[in-house]
Structure 1
Amino acid sequence: MLVDRRAELQLAAAARARGRPRLRRLARGLPPRRDGPLAALLGAGRAPRARLPRAARVAAAPRGDAGVVRAGVVGHVEWVDFAVVDRVPEHGAILHAREHFADAGGGGAVAAVQMRRLVGASTFLTAVGDDRFGGDARERLREHGVELHAAVRERAQRRCFTYLDAAHERTITVLGPRLVPHGADPLPWALVRELDAVYVTGGDADAIRAARAGRVVVATPRALPALAEAHVELDALVASANDPGERVAEGTLDPPPKLVVRTRGGAGGEWTAEEGRTGTWGAAALPGEPVDSYGAGDTFAAALTLALGAGRPLDDALAYAARCGATCLCGRGPYGADVSAIGPP
């Protein structure tokens, strides 16, 4: 009887499979075009194009099996010591932390981990120091499930000391220079051609040119000098209207990004696209009580990269990114709130 039942289940599954439409798989790794993925999202006018049914979007946007976005990050990692305090100490004061922990952090690492949680896998091309902290960073990233490819530098790993206070703010002290991947590093750059969504937080000009082989490429202004030297067209640049280190003046990059997004934290943000089209979005509702802001902006950028790589209309992509960033805000440190419950874009 058990064998008969299994046979019935197999036949039923086969019948369901025959009833599903076959989706056309298109070529991947195409160079950026004026009529490419982002142009399709924005449409000819100011308003984004209406969202297509999921099956149509899978066929229109060349992605991985079953429409899962293949994601990656080219950038940096820091080893971060976190101290949970009531307030940041005044000049000359001594405080006792209520809690302390350490993890791999920095914009590149946070984006890679959150992408892995949201779509199930992510590739991270980076550089680390040859000391104990560089080894710790590699170990933790692998424990987080990231496919890690790291060049090892003969110098100390960049570290950070971060206060997380009762006002939900993070205050960061950086120790050492940023270590970023180079195009000449023996990293598997060919993998980037298979990625639908690539987020860049750092690298030399050759590394950024290699990253441009991804179908949709998004970057942070913190990599601005190398971005300017690389002269590649970005699908989006995620800047901040509040953080001086993430502001960018118009005309800084040549060619200019197709889309510039400026976040305003709890006030949402605004975007500017080709031909001067502009728009805004509102902040997402918090799914719980706020805990601290570390990693919220990086999570937003990672989620936006995924959504653009998935072919989501711009309004939907920004709403998805805002929801992911708001979720991160409700957990301790960058990974305390599990964004995997949100699911892929």
Structure 2
Amino acid sequence: MTRGVLRLAVVGHVEHVTLGRVPALPPPGGIAHLAAPRTFAGGGGGVALLQLAKAPAEVHLFTALGSDEAAGEVAAALRGAAATVHAARRAGPHTRDVVLVTPDGERTIVVVGEPLHPRAEDPLPWELLAACDAVYFTAQDPAALRRCRAARRLVVSARRREALAASGVRADVVVGSAVDPREASRLADYPVPPGALVLTEGPAGGRVERADGTVERFPAPPPARVTGAAYGAGDSFAGALTFFLACGLPVVEACARAGPYGAAVLAGLDPGAAQLPLVLTPA
């Protein structure tokens, strides 16, 4: 750690999420009724931000918001987090997600509209990134990703493989899930290989593939009974991983420390309410 107080940032999208339980996914032509629906600010950037906001750190969010009621509700929810929000404004509706949770805790997500991402051309305080101990990137603009490279540590979602390739920068860590087709990848898939590729494997733990060709595994946290939903588990893991990397932990140890933070989300429907406070304690 290089400073008394860590400075962290998330660059990416935040959606207006409506989540509820269904007895089963509807068949073709069927109708699903959400039981006990709840709304919150989520999405890949939103959930990671809420996890990092539970750290003893200065936290910033770079994002974009629409101009409708949903955008206002998202902005209000973000104001309740312990973070500074830097948001570009877009004319038009904010992105909404409808999440259907089945009895096994699995979630099916319907995205209404295109996610709103910050762009390098937006008049946001991008110069702050150079003073950040770590930045988590889950946006789409390669030029914005190049701005993020000024941070001491750069963690990129594996969902943003195309943006990373187009940017030409080297990420310190790319993080994703080996069981998610959007995120499963190999180091060879990246024109500029990251320092490490982290892929989680659910109850099997996960693996870290390094640029030098070595592969190490990290354990899964103790098994957790799913009483809520799997929504947000991967993004909470990514946020926690970013924190532990900023603290200076080696990648494999940081992954092992981050595991319980992803698993904790399985106990609730709203990931922000189920997330654990981030603390650096002896292993």
Shorter chain as normaliser: what TM range?
over 0.9
Counterpart in the other structure of 1:17 = none
2:2 corresponding residue in structure 1: 62
Bigger radius of gyration: 1
| 245, 263, 271: which one aligns with 1:334 | 271
Query: 1:16-71, CA deviations, whole angstroms, 9 ceiling, x for partnerless residues?
Result: xxxxxxxxxxxxxxxxxxxxxxxxxxxxxxxxxxxxxxxxxxxxx313x2xx4321
Count of paired positions: 281
Contact 1:228/1:253 (8 A) holds in 2: yes
CA shift at 1:167, angstroms? 0.3
Partner Cα separation in structure 2 for residue 267 and residue 336 of structure 1: 26
- Who is 2:105 aligned against? 168
2:19 alignment partner AA: F
Indicate the percent of aligned positions where both proteins have the same amino acid.
37
Conserved in 2, the CA contact under 8 Å of 1:232 and 1:254? Answer: no
The residue number in structure 1 matching 2:128 is: 191
Does the residue aligned with 2:265 lie in a helix, a strand or coil?
helix
Structure number with the higher strand fraction is: 2
Aligned counterpart, 1:102? 39
- Offset of 1:289 from its aligned partner? 5.2
Q: Deviations over 1:167-202 (max 9, x none)?
A: 011110111112111111100001111110110001
Structure-1 residue corresponding to 2:158: 221
SS in 1 for 2:182: helix
Aligned to 1:343: 279
For residues 254 and 210 of structure 1, what CA distance do their matches in structure 2 show? Answer: 19
Q: Aligned to 2:190, what secondary structure does the other structure show?
A: coil
Stretches of structure 2 lacking an aligned partner (at least 5 in a row): none
1:89 CA displacement: 2.4
> Contact 2:19 / 2:34 at 8 angstroms: preserved in 1?
no
Cα distance in 2, alignment partners of residues 97 and 130 from structure 1:
26
Per-residue CA deviation, residues 228-266 of structure 1 (Å, 9 max, x unaligned), is 111111000002211111123433323210000111122
Note closer, same or farther for the CA distance 1:132–1:117 as it changes in structure 2 (3 Å cut).
same
Superposed CA RMSD:
1.7
Distance 1:290 1:313 in 2: 32
Match in the other structure for 1:81: 18
Equivalent in 245, 248, 254 of residue 185 of structure 2: 248
2:13 partner SS: coil
Runs of 4 or more consecutive aligned structure 1 residues displaced over 4 Å after TM superposition? 286-289
CA distance in 1, matches of 2:16, 2:9: 20
In the alignment, which residue of structure 2 is the partner of 1:27? none
What are the equivalent positions in structure 2 for 1:90-239 lying under 5 Å apart? 90-239=27-176
Contact 1:150-1:187 within 8 A present in 2 as well: yes
User: d(CA) in 1 for partners of 2:75 and 2:280?
Assistant: 25
TM-score (norm 2): 0.93
Are 2:236 and 1:296 equivalent residues in the alignment? no
CA contact (8 A) 1:233 1:254 kept: no
- Seen in structure 2, the aligned counterparts of structure 1 residues 290 and 313 have a Cα distance that, compared at 3 Å, is farther
Q: TM-score by structure 1 length?
A: 0.77
Between the aligned partners of 2:32 and 2:113, the Cα distance in structure 1 is: 24
Q: CA deviation at 1:287?
A: 6.1
What secondary structure is seen at the aligned counterpart in 2 of 1:284? coil
- AA of the residue aligned to 2:241: L
SS of residue matched to 2:114:
coil
